[in-house]
Every structure is written in C-alpha cells, then in structure tokens.
C-alpha cells in the first residue's frame, strides 16, 4: 500500500480537505490530481504518488489536514479497496456472541458521532445551536459536512410557532431587504486566521508620512526608457534595504527564541475581489535589483489573478506589505497574519498634499505626492525603538531615491 500524505512543505496556515477527485476503487496514474486542499491563501492539488487504485480515503471533505497527515492509500491489488459500505461493515464485524452482548449507551453513541465531526462542522453546529442528530449527513459513511449544516441553516424559518417541533437551526431574524451570502471556504479560513492572529500577537502600529517625489520622478524616467514599474516594486526594494537597521522586523516569534530570517522574503497582499486575498511572496528581495523585483512581482500578480498560484508561490514569507492605497485607502493598520511574522507594512493612497519644507533656512509651502505608511508589529518580537528606526530608514530611502543613471 502506498500512502498519500499532506505535503510537509505546506504553508503554516491550517488546511482543510476541499474535495477528493477520485473515489475508492478508481484507477489513478502517477501525478494525477487526487485531492484538493485549501488554505486561506491557495487551493492546492495533491498528486498521486504512484499509479494504482485508490484503496482508501482517511481524511474526508472538511477534515483538517496538517502537514504530514495521512490522506489515503493507493494499492495495486483490487482486494485492498475499502469502499464506504465495506468500511462501515468492517467496523461492526466480530464474533456473534460479542455483538449480542455488546451495546452502546446513548451517551457513548453521541460521543462516537461527535468524533466524526470535523472542526469546522462542530463550530457551525455550536454557532447555530443545531442538534447534529437532526441532520442527515451526505458525506462518506453518512458523515455531516459543512454544506449539510449550511443547508440546515438556510432551511430554518422565522415562522416557527412556540409549542411546535423545534427547528433544526435557530431561526434568524428576517430582514426584508437583506441578502444572505453564504461563506465560501476561503472566507471562513481567512476569518479564523484573523481572529487567531489578533488573539495571539499583541499588535502595535506606528504611523509615518513619506514624500514620494523622488520615486515618482524615477518611475517616470524609467517609463520614458521603456521600463514600467509599479510603486509596489519600489516599496519592496526600500523595505528590504531598511531591514539592516532592525533585523528583528524580518523575524518571528518562537516560544524560546526570536528567529530572524537569513533572506528578506516579502509577501504582497493581492486582492481577488469577492474571492478574498492571497499573499504571493517575492523571495530574497535584498539581492534583487529594482527591475528584477518588478518582473517577479508582475509574474506573481498575474498568476494570482488568474488563479494559477502554486503552494511554493505563497509559502515562506518573512515580512508582508499591504499596499492598500491602490484601492483608495489613505490609512490602515493591517493585521499580521502569516505564521508568526514580526511585522506588516501598510502604505496608503498616494495623494498630493500641501506640506511645509525647510529650504535654505526658511520655511516654504509646497505641494508634494504624499502617502501615510504604517508598520504594525508583534510587540513580543519588536519594540517601539526598533519600529521607529525601521520606519525612519524606510521613509529616508523613499524620499532620497537616486535619479536613474544616464
């Protein structure tokens, strides 16, 4: 029997089994897509490690899939196939006198049923006060899936009369003009990660303002030569250089130490409209030129918007940038989401503002392209002094960007 396991290099966020693409007994070829896993960042297909027959599914739909967990088995022998109905029969096999003398109490039966519920299903049942015994599961071996719970909630009405049978789910208050939008798996996972992030890491945000005049001039000069770069590429380059003054910004919290990454691998928040957010990673930014960062960023952004990101494209970031200004936001304090990173940079909308400058010992009023920049830190890893030192250096790099070489 050949084991099918969750990849160990999976990004640290929790994954769930989204769907099996084969059924027990079906033939599979080596590297055939076998099962889909989903995190808040990406949907990943796990390929078959060898050719044969899918013998058994051990982690069903909605089950949590930690790195290294056993998903199922592939066999070359037909007799090894474990189909759902046979699997159920096998669980009650045994000598007839044992079956006759053995019975489960009501509480034991309920406990056994409870263990078959995935964490997401269990949370949904508790949230809506649903008795799982009143739901008919459509999953393998009659298992209740998240979709079963969602359907039960949708079926609940506000017309329940006191004294009648209890509805499967607690009725929701009707709003004449409200529209329900069911959560997809990505939205639920993002929500779970957001709550976990703010409950585990003490967040503190520092705010600076940056003059983008030098960046704007440099960008226009390169465009005139045929090289087009986004402002985000400049942000990545400046952030990588700023790490020198506060290396812990490029680190993360561990229970017995602070870990600092040897390379600056920057994730860039990329909105997918109603589908949520993904964070592709540009690796080793400190060793790349501005143009190389721009090229890699363009490739990753295109893959993200086309839904072609692979697990390796979103794994292993040591720092994150949220360029929320591209959607019009002036100021925000992003949440640190990813695997214990120490900080996340937020950059607001570039906007012309009136500023007071000192020139030749006198104050003058000027109009400059300005943007607010925030650094949100995990205060377990980084203190205020390091935060301000990093932001000061970052702003200094932005405001004193050299003119392109002739």
**Rounded distance, CA 9 to CA 339, Å?**
13
Which residue among 32, 298, 383, 396 is the active-site one? 383
pLDDT exceeds 70 at position 338: no
Lowest-confidence region among 15-19, 157-161, 215-219, 291-295: 157-161
- Return the pLDDT at 89: 42
CATH hierarchy code of domain 201-399:
3.30.559.10
- Return the pLDDT at 93: 41
Place of tokens 């022998």: 77
Evaluate whether 2-91 and 201-399 have a shared fold: no
Q: Where exactly are the structural domains of the chain?
A: 2-91, 103-185, 201-399
For residue range 110-160, what is the model confidence (pLDDT) as tens digits? 444 444 566 567 767 766 668 788 888 887 667 788 778 878 877 764 334
pLDDT exceeds 70 at position 168: no
Contacts of 122 (CB under 8 A, 6+ apart): 114
pLDDT exceeds 50 at position 259: yes
pLDDT exceeds 70 at position 398: yes
Q: Residue 381: what are its φ and ψ, rounded to 5°?
A: -95, -40
- Return the pLDDT at 82: 58
CB atoms within 10 A of CB 164: 8
Whether 97 is a known active-site residue: answer no
- Helix pair angle (231-242, 290-305), 10° resolution: 120
Query: What are the angstrom distances between the C-alpha of 86 and each of 69, 139, 174, 221?
Result: 23, 15, 45, 70
Lowest-confidence region among 164-168, 286-290, 294-298, 365-369: 164-168
Higher confidence at residue 169 or residue 195? 195
**Rounded distance, CA 204 to CA 384, Å?**
9
- Return the pLDDT at 126: 67
For residue range 54-63, what is the model confidence (pLDDT) as tens digits? 998 998 887 8
Contacts of 184 (CB under 8 A, 6+ apart): 275
Contacts of 232 (CB under 8 A, 6+ apart): 268, 297, 321, 323, 326
**Rounded distance, CA 376 to CA 124, Å?**
32
pLDDT exceeds 60 at position 217: yes
3-state secondary structure 74-134: EECCHHHCCCHHHHHHHHCCCCHHHHHHCCCCHHHHHHHHHHCCCHHHHHHHHHCCCCHHH
Average pLDDT over residues 161-178: 54
pLDDT exceeds 80 at position 97: no
Nearest residue to 57 via CA among 39, 43, 36, 30:
36
CATH class held by domain 2-91: mainly beta
Which residue among 80, 284, 379, 396 is the active-site one? 379
pLDDT exceeds 90 at position 346: yes
Give residue 108's pLDDT band: very low, low, confident or very high (50, 70, 90).
very low
Torsion of CA 54, 56, 58, 60, to 10 degrees: 60
Average pLDDT over residues 207-217: 97
Whether 383 is a known active-site residue: answer yes
For residue range 2-52, what is the model confidence (pLDDT) as tens digits? 899 888 765 545 678 878 888 888 899 888 888 888 776 666 778 889 899
Query: What are the angstrom distances between the C-alpha of 352 and each of 222, 345, 368?
Result: 21, 21, 5
């Amino acid at each position: 029997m050949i084991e099918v396991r969750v990849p160990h290099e999976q990004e640290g966020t929790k994954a769930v089994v989204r769907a099996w693409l084969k059924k027990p007994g079906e033939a599979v070829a080596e590297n055939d897509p076998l099962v889909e896993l989903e995190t808040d960042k990406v949907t990943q297909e796990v390929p078959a490690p060898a050719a044969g027959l899918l013998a058994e599914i051990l982690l069903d739909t909605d089950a949590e899939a930690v790195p290294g967990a056993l998903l199922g088995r592939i066999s070359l022998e037909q007799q090894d196939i474990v189909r759902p109905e046979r699997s159920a029969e096998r669980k009650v096999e045994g000598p007839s006198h044992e079956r006759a003398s053995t019975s489960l109490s009501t509480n034991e039966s309920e406990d056994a049923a409870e263990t078959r519920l995935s964490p997401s299903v269990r949370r949904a049942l508790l949230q809506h006060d649903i008795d799982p015994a009143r739901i008919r599961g459509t999953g393998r071996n009659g298992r209740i899936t998240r979709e079963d719970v969602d359907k039960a909630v949708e079926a609940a009405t506000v017309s329940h009369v006191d004294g009648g049978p209890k509805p499967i789910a607690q009725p929701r208050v009707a709003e004449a003009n409200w529209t329900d939008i069911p959560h997809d798996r990505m939205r639920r996972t993002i929500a779970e990660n957001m709550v976990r992030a703010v409950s585990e890491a003490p967040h503190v945000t520092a705010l600076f303002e940056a003059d983008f005049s030098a960046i704007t001039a440099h960008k226009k000069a390169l465009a005139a030569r045929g090289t087009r770069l986004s402002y985000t590429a400049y942000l990545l380059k400046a952030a990588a250089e700023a790490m020198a003054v506060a290396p812990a910004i490029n680190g993360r919290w561990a229970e017995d130490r602070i870990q600092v990454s040897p390379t600056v691998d920057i994730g860039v928040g990329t909105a997918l409209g109603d589908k949520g957010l993904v964070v592709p990673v540009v690796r080793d930014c400190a060793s790349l030129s501005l143009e190389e960062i721009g090229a890699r960023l363009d490739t990753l952004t295109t893959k993200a918007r086309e839904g072609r990101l692979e697990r390796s494209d979103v794994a292993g970031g040591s720092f994150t940038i949220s360029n929320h200004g591209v959607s019009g936001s002036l100021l925000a304090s992003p949440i640190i989401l990813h695997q214990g990173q120490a900080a996340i940079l937020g950059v607001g909308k570039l906007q012309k503002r009136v500023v007071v400058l000192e020139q030749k010992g006198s104050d003058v009023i000027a109009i400059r392209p300005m943007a607010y920049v925030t650094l949100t830190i995990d205060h377990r890893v980084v203190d205020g002094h390091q935060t301000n030192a990093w932001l000061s250096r970052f702003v200094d790099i932005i405001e004193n960007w050299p003119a392109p070489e002739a």
